[in-house]
Amino acid sequence: MQEHVDYCSGSLSSESAHPGCGSTAGTVSYQYDSMGNRLQLSSTLPAVPASGLLNYDANDRTSTDVFDANGNTTFNGQKNVYDFENRLVQRGGVAIVYDGVCRRPWPE
């Protein structure tokens, strides 16, 4: 995957995939508003669906997602569940656990 970053804004503007090992060639491109919010994702890769045009509210949250009173995304295609410390503990049917110092353990 080759990336192009706009160093003035620090935003990723596009990525290109080159065929090899059974992959498909294509490009993923991003457009941003003046606040740095992603407005649109365009893609020619079948595995990366285009987002269409995204709209944001006054708090820079996407208008298509559902948020709780703490600003956590509770639904964006799948249900998200948070604990009392606002840690994501479930996404769809997948449980997410944390160790004793609030880190998600990763397999080595």
**Per-position pLDDT tens, the chain of length 108:** 455 555 455 566 666 666 665 666 778 888 888 888 888 888 887 777 777 788 888 888 888 889 999 989 998 888 999 999 898 889 888 888 877 766 666 654
CA distance 64 to 96: 24
Confidence (pLDDT) at 68: 92
DSSP string, 47-64: TS---EE--B-TTS-BTT
With residue 11 as reference, give the H or E element that holds it.
Answer: strand 11-17
* Per-residue model confidence (pLDDT) at position 20: 62
